[in-house]
A and B are shown apart, each in its own frame.
Chain A
């Protein structure tokens, strides 16, 4: 085996090791933990990847049609690799679909619950049927191997022989439907897909671009096998394919631009926006540049020219799918694929490539070379091979193949475990919403109409300050900085509650040597309860393991928060005796409530008491939401909290 092939296989096996880990993460923890998909972006990279895989498989039906229907026998040598690629492309699609579906074990449901008005139903049926056709088309290659030299298989072989033309025609019909229906999927999203990509004929554009792409994939495949297995390049035939590609790509670009022009949206391509730039890049890369270059004979017959055109077309047309599915698709939240989404796609491709290599090595996928040693690199590519093979190798050559590949997979898998996000390793936690501290602002106040209370304003925002308005300092309480702020007259509260002695009424618990720790020092999350107990610190301060019994006094009980001593029982100085906030009996020890709960709990109870006991001083509306939340005044606003994480709930 040549060194290049060995390195490629090692890398592919390493990718499979990574895929294994991420697969476990995906199916045990769900889509949310492994992808960046959201309610705003229900389809993402995997979907674009699937559509690109199908487009890349178009070579199968194009070449089969050319050889069998149009009788161009000289392209026969391309037929088997193209059908194999198509087969693997469609299997890739199905496997990627299993990752993308929320309930992959229901993948066969379209057969028993058909709903023919759905484009996705057409897609599903085409995939199932076309994959069957492809497998039947490829079956003879497998059946002719010596392993299947039995009468039963010979009969099947013979039957398939007679079915070639019907199979090829069925393949062409199903491919036409399937390639186009992937475009039709987006017909239903006229309000979400950018007008440069949305088109009533998007299904025709998908079909034609897939044909062009399929031809270029066949070309790349020839290069790939030349590079990897040292096979001869058929430049004469590739040149003809290149010419055909040029025609197809021009047809595609013409239709695409013509359609935009007819719908008067062509101007959007030049409006200088980010998406316009993406569009121009895509259309030039996928069609205009390669199609123009391929017109020249010199480009078509040179390895570099063909290679560059093929790579441009592949990236361009796959980019078209990617743009439709992701980039140009309107979403109200940012989306960027996670590395796990990318790795799953890469891992599936790695599997497909390994299967491809396996079939090429074991079966007659390619015609036999006139040369005696197929493993030898072709002369054109040989000169790159001047490094000793060992420098290429990540793993020593002395290892046997199975050990080398398993080692590569295991090393890659163990490395990737280190990169798994928290959500995968320990399950979903509520998202943190850190609380920002309060700020002091210059403000002024004014009496409220018909109420004995006051209304507060930020001096910098509400100018000019009316005559007679009293100026004062205000605290801006806006924990998550979403602009729904509460203006809090701190000095007035101090004055009402009894001067310096009253701090502890609200500042009910303080950091060591502190008398007025701010709220957000403990209530650190907007919604979720925060763990403010530092176990490690206590262990070290309490003489290590000797100190367990200081807090966990019941020797028979399980040592956890419930059975431990309450914080206040030791830290009397931290907890203020006459505070309005009394530690609740069933509260989990060492947990601080979410900021919103804490503030509502502190303020509302006192305001309610004041408005019921002394309405002549505070008015009847002192405990209503609008009293503090200024932006919702005037209405019967009752802030319900059906959304808040429970205050005693552990995160």
Chain B
């Protein structure tokens, strides 16, 4: 079974913000309040999981969690509070969260938000209305859209639909399904008449999923443990033996006790002082 996905066609969006209101009602988010850590009151925030970005020339682009197929935030979370469900949505378990905010650092789209104003803060982000969708419903934002600018369905079906729309109207769209392959692909995909580079930190996104980059270093850990440990033990043994041999050759009468490495005795000079 293909995973669930959302296709947003920015050419159909009129910017009516009904999706925003539906999302707020669904997640019981309340009103937005101007805060120092928000650039604008209508940007994504802990009380706004989806928002409409206005672009010059009356273009409206709905921003939300992209629910990546191989998500950086999930690989970053050290306690597994963020989970990629088999159905596609990335869900958050606030009971496990420790508040390290590595997911916010890791997300290439800068999506997760934090409750900075609270003494007991949690991560806030879209969960594709996981509970609703599991019971056969649609995400609240999709259901609310009066223009069918954002639709919900299996990812491969929506990809075909996106390609069909581009083929039918090649003049209307940029020939690219945003989110098809970027950083391993996303579950929220876009077709658009304007470039959507501004939705990520860099205009050119590679195809490689980000978790692979950290795994390249992490997978070396067992080898490093054995390697460094082994080399250190070997060096210790070799040097100890060489010193012993040197002493024997010199016929020194140094006792083994003095040779023994220890941190227990006070350092040598003090020992000498005491002997004096």
Contact = CB atoms under 8 A, between A and B. Distances in A.
Contact of A187 (B40, B217, B240): B217
Contacts of A482: 40
B35 A431 contact: yes
Contacts of A192: 105, 108, 201
A116 B78 CA distance: 7
A632 B54 CA distance: 10
Given A38-B37, A433-B34, A642-B24, 8 more contacts: A30-B117, A31-B121, A39-B44, A69-B239, A113-B80, A161-B264, A169-B236, A642-B31
Interface in B204-253: 205-206, 210-211, 213-218, 221, 224-225, 228-229, 232-233, 235-236, 239-240, 243
A120 interface: yes
Contact of B119 (A28, A100, A177, A187): A28
A119 B217 contact: yes
Contacts of B121: 30-31, 102-103
A367 B269 contact: yes
A540 B21 CA distance: 47
A449 B272 CA distance: 103
A101 B42 CA distance: 27
Contacts of A636: 14, 16, 146-147
3 cross-chain pairs, A with B, having the tightest CB-CB distances, nearest first: A102-B99, A32-B116, A38-B37
A468 interface: no
- Among B38, B146, B210, B266, residue most surrounded by chain A Cβ atoms (within 10 Å): B266
B110 interface: yes
Contacts of A637: 14-16
B120 interface: yes
Contacts of A528: 33-34
8 contacts: A31-B121, A77-B267, A168-B232, A177-B224, A184-B218, A368-B269, A635-B58, A640-B18
Interface of B: 14-18, 20-21, 24, 31-42, 44-45, 47-48, 58, 72, 75-81, 96-102, 104-106, 108, 110, 112-122, 146-147, 200-202, 205-206, 210-211, 213-218, 221, 224-225, 228-229, 232-233, 235-236, 239-240, 243, 261-264, 266-270, 273-274
Contact of A71 (B48, B100, B102, B240): B240
Nearest to B183: A191
B53 to A, nearest CB: 12
B262 A164 contact: yes
Contacts of A102: 97-101, 114, 120-122
Interface string A7-42: 000000000000000000001111111000111101
A638 B83 CA distance: 36
Contact of B213 (A110, A140, A188): A188
A96 to B, nearest CB: 13
Contacts of B211: 117, 188
A165 B236 CA distance: 8
Interface string A515-550: 000000000001110000000000000000000000
A73 interface: yes
Interface string A326-365: 0000101100000000000000000000000000000010
B34 A430 contact: yes
Interface string A613-640: 0000000000000000001111111111
A79 B261 CA distance: 12
Nearest to B204: A191
B31 A644 contact: yes
A144 B264 contact: yes
Contact of A70 (B42, B214, B217, B239): B239
Nearest to A77: B267
Given A117-B75, A161-B262, A172-B228, A109 B36 contact: no
Contact of A191 (B45, B108, B147, B268): B108
A290 to B, nearest CB: 26
B117 A32 contact: yes
Given A137-B263, A430-B33, A526-B34, A203 B217 contact: yes
A603 interface: no
Contact of B72 (A103, A122, A188, A645): A188
Nearest to A186: B105
Nearest to A525: B34
B152 to A, nearest CB: 21
Interface in A102-146: 102-104, 106-107, 109-110, 113-124, 137, 140-141, 144
A118 B233 contact: no
Contact of A80 (B14, B35, B76, B267): B267
B233 A117 contact: no
Contact of B228 (A117, A173, A638): A173
A176 interface: yes
A314 B153 CA distance: 55
Contacts of B98: 101-104, 106-107, 109-110
Contacts of A29: 119
Contacts of A526: 34
Contacts of A117: 75, 211, 214-215, 218
A330 B106 CA distance: 12
B236 A110 contact: no
Contacts of A189: 105-106, 108
Given A113-B96, A642-B24, A188 B15 contact: no
A643 B235 CA distance: 66
Interface in A67-103: 67-71, 73, 76-77, 79-80, 83, 100-103
Contacts of A37: 37, 116
A188 B108 CA distance: 9
B37 A640 contact: no
Contacts of B274: 368
Contact of B232 (A121, A173, A433): A173
B58 A634 contact: yes
A144 B37 CA distance: 52
